[in-house]
Amino acid sequence: MDTHPQLTGRSNYFEDFSVGQRMRHFRSATIGEVENNCLTKLVMNTAQAHWNEEALRGSPLGDGRLVFGLITGSLTVGLTSQDTAENALEELGLDEIRFRLPVHPGDTITAFSEVLATEDSPAAPHAGVVRFKHWGRNQHGQVVCELERTVLVKRRSHDHLDAGPPPREGDS
């Protein structure tokens, strides 16, 4: 526990989150071949509308590939992760996942978060449960996905990592 004192941030422990707190996350990401084509196949999603450029040609959904909704969702969560889960012990769950608009390769996702709740965790007194609402927005300002996410986050008061590096031999 005390071998890596400086690996995670200092401003995202359980005590740092408060209900109603809002965050616009600093980095956005464009969905390209790696994010959609590669990851959708990596996770065994056989629906070819995500990776066959011809599959939807002429359909009411429009020409071209559709991004797998959970890739958009995963990228939204990823873009929030440093600010919301860098000091997480465990991802507990998700809820109310909605995909509001189609996303196409080339679209850029920006993530937003709000803290919905903070709770003690009787099973983990060294941590607490934070419930977030996340939104993923495209480059036109439209919300494309939203979800709630529950994370078990370390308490600063109980984190040995926060006590600084272990004393070295010879230190006085």
Partner 1 sequence: MSAARQATAGAGQQRFGCGLVSGTDTPLRGREFAVTSSGHPTQAGRPEVTEVDFDSFPVVAKGRRFEDFEQGQVLWHHWGRTITSGDNALFSTATCNWNPLHLNAEYARALGHPDVVVNPMLVLCTVVGLSVEDLSEAGGPFLGMQDVVFHQPLYPGDTLTAGSEVVSAVGSSSRPRDGIVTWRTEARNQHGELVVSYRRTNLVAKRRPD
Contact between 12 and 130 under an 8 Å Cβ cutoff? The reply is: no
Could you give the string, one character per residue 13-32, with x where binding to partner 1 holds by CB under 8 A and - elsewhere? --------------x-x---
Contact mark string toward partner 1, 54..93, x via CB under 8 A = --------------xxxx-xxx-xxx-xx--xx-xxxxxx
Give the residue carrying structure tokens 């990401």.
29
Strands 108-120 and 29-30: what pairing? antiparallel
Task: Kindly state the smallest distance separating residue 15's Cβ from partner 1, in Å.
Answer: 19
37 binds partner 1 (CB under 8 A): no
> Which of 15, 53, 54, 95 is the binder for partner 1 (CB under 8 A)?
95
Instruction: Using the minimum distance from each CB to partner 1, give the nearer residue, 114 or 126.
Output: 126
Distance, CA of 67 to chain centre: 17
Question: Would you count residue 123 as binding partner 1 (CB under 8 A)?
Answer: no
With a CB cutoff of 8 Å and minimum separation 6, the contacts of 135 are 76, 111, 112, 113, 143, 145, 146
Gap between the Cα atoms of 125 and 14, Å rounded? 11
Contacting residues toward partner 1, per CB under 8 A: 1-4, 7-8, 27, 29, 34-35, 38-40, 42-47, 68-71, 73-75, 77-79, 81-82, 85-86, 88-99
